[in-house]
Structure 1
Amino acid sequence: MPKTQRKWNTTDITDQSGRTAVVTGANSGIGLVTADALARAGAHVVLAVRDVRRGEAAAATVRGAKGSVEVRRLDLADLASVREFAAGWQGDLDLLVNNAGVMNIPEASTKDGFEMQFGTNHLGHFALTNLLLPHITDRVVTVASGAHRFPAGMHIHFDNLNLTGEYAPMVAYGQSKLANLLFTLDLQRRLTEAGSRVRALAAHPGWAATNLQGHDASVVRRVAMRVGNRVLAQDDKAGALPTLYAATQDLPGASYVGPDGLGEMRGAPTLVGRSRAASDPESARRLWTASEELTGVTFPRLAEASRTTDA
């Protein structure tokens, strides 16, 4: 019998000593697992969280790490907070993991008046990435979702991004996750055209049992999610593997990583496909323009140090 090949896991993460990473939403779930794994591999990891007290409690659980952790406040639903976080950054940043997000919540708005899921999951990370980009030396990994394939997330509602008067939790979530992939696509295009060696990648966790599903606007869906978490889902440690794979392996820009199991719901990390809508460069450009107009944040002029060619 041929020997079964061992599948990739956290023991395969290369030494991260000397590297600095920011992980948004790292106080629980796959964000905390991601931060913990990177710190154990030697990185200095900043837990960028809305609630610093909860962030400090989460940081205290990262024990025995070769690297180190710290906590900084970041509220992605408030562009002033995003700007403050970015303005306070000094020095190089090797890795930015855009992990934080909300899912299928009741209708709500960010402090800047955007629909909460689109504003947090996409616009907050769009602004954060562009503001930090002059510091980033290696890659940006944005956590998307298989929900971008659902009928509810099949297109961007360019004429009504806030879904005013037609809000539905799953439509808003699907749109925000499709936006994550289109953002990654156009970010990589812009980095390439700028001659930067920084890479933009995306990952999705499959069905991972975390507290994200506990805020669903529908009681029926919350119950279904609870059952699914027990029967079908993988745990948050397995759910974080695609993010960690995208964050540490030598992959081409614009790569998308997910689980290798049936329906990409669980399994070891591997390169996966995206929907046709998530592969449309024209939609990606249009979303980028709309995002710049909404946030007031544009693609930065990159330092020579991040370019592939010498001055």
Structure 2
Amino acid sequence: MGTNSEDQGLRTAVITGATSGLGLVVARELAGAGVRVVIGARNTRKADAVIAELPGAGHTAYTLDLADLDSVREFAAAVRGSNARIDLLVNNAGIMAVPRTLSAQGYELQFAVNHLGHFALTAGLLDLIAGRIVTVTSVLHRKGRLDLEDPAAERGYSANAAYNRSKLANAIFALELHRRLAAAGSQVRSIAAHPGYAVTNLQASVPPGLYRFLLTKLGNPLIAVPASKGAVPLLFAATSPDARSGELIGPGGPGEMRGAPSSLRFAPAAADPAAGQRLWQVSEEMTGVRFTAS
């Protein structure tokens, strides 16, 4: 996919959710280009198996449960203990349209895993990051509504709406992080990326029912691209000199479902600076972390 680690000064990459799907493709491509990969995953057996098959040497894996902020802190500490510099952080792991469940800290699970865990992880590693932070969102961020008044989803729960909200939060976070890094004079790039409509194990987290049927039996055969193609926008965001901080990179084809990596417009709700400030404040309160951009 044209990844050239030497041209980009890319030596070490931390990737969440790299045991399958998009994250696995990204890990393989980067490792094949000579990048040392650090994987965070709940299933250490799978992570170790992936590490064993990656080209190159020096790859490592540590346990990471994004639904538990204590695990996020432990993972960040483990990464810090063995790395003086990180060139790339890919906030990729996620869950989709699951029944209402609470995280270890009592937050709605999709928001906790997809956004809060990555928010806390980025804060925990930020001072080591010298290159880029790529946060994976979705075309469905365009349908999301940012409701921060009900973090446990006690006033009614829609699995799809909660997923869309979490992906909107990913987009808002990536753009607000860009603003804060730029204001601090940092050269670190914060880029959002989405794969379009790709077939991944993410869909396996969707409970059996009509929505899963529509995804797997109709949408996948007719519209979806394989993970190898879905990962191309992520890799572009992670490695291309043409990917600028504050951009959203995704497929440029109809409906952003497939196509070559392109710079796309954020949904208006994601581009709103007031939403960025509000999400940031609430995320710091929920996670107990504070960012220091420099």
What is the TM-score normalised by the length of structure 1? 0.89
- Give the alignment partner of residue 133 of structure 1, picking from 126, 134, 150: 126
Task: Give the drift of 1:271.
Answer: 1.0
Number of equivalenced pairs = 287
User: Alpha-carbon deviations, 1:43-71, whole Å to 9, x = none?
Assistant: 00011111100111222332xx3465221
Match of 2:227 in 1: 236
User: Alpha-carbon deviations, 1:90-117, whole Å to 9, x = none?
Assistant: 3100000000000001111111111000
User: Alpha-carbon deviations, 1:7-39, whole Å to 9, x = none?
Assistant: xxx1x2123476100010000000000000000
CA RMSD, Structure 1 to Structure 2 (Å): 1.4
- Residue 196, structure 1, aligned to residue 186, structure 2: yes
- Residue 49, structure 1, aligned to residue 41, structure 2: yes
Match of 2:159 in 1: 169
- Give the alignment partner of residue 14 of structure 2, picking from 9, 22, 25: 22
State the distance in 1 between where 2:208 and 2:150 align.
Answer: 23
Larger Rg computed on CA atoms: 1
Is the CA contact (8 Å cut-off) linking 2:5 and 2:11 kept in structure 1? no
State the distance in 2 between where 1:291 and 1:26 align.
Answer: 24
Distance 1:66 1:18, change over 3 A: farther
Unpaired runs of 5+ in structure 2?
Answer: none
**Equivalence map 1:220-259=2 (5 Å):** 220-227=210-217, 228-250=219-241, 251-259=243-251
Match of 1:5 in 2: none
Moved more, 155-164 or 206-215: 155-164
Is the CA contact (8 Å cut-off) linking 2:178 and 2:189 kept in structure 1? yes
State the distance in 2 between where 1:229 and 1:216 align.
Answer: 14
Moved more, 216-225 or 238-247: 216-225
Distance 1:265 1:203, change over 3 A: same
Match of 1:102 in 2: 95
Task: Give the drift of 1:142.
Answer: 0.3
User: Alpha-carbon deviations, 1:261-306, whole Å to 9, x = none?
Assistant: 111111221111111111100001000000000100011264xxxx
Unpaired runs of 5+ in structure 1?
Answer: 1-9, 303-311
State the distance in 2 between where 1:277 and 1:67 align.
Answer: 42
Distance 1:301 1:231, change over 3 A: closer
Task: Give the drift of 1:218.
Answer: 5.0
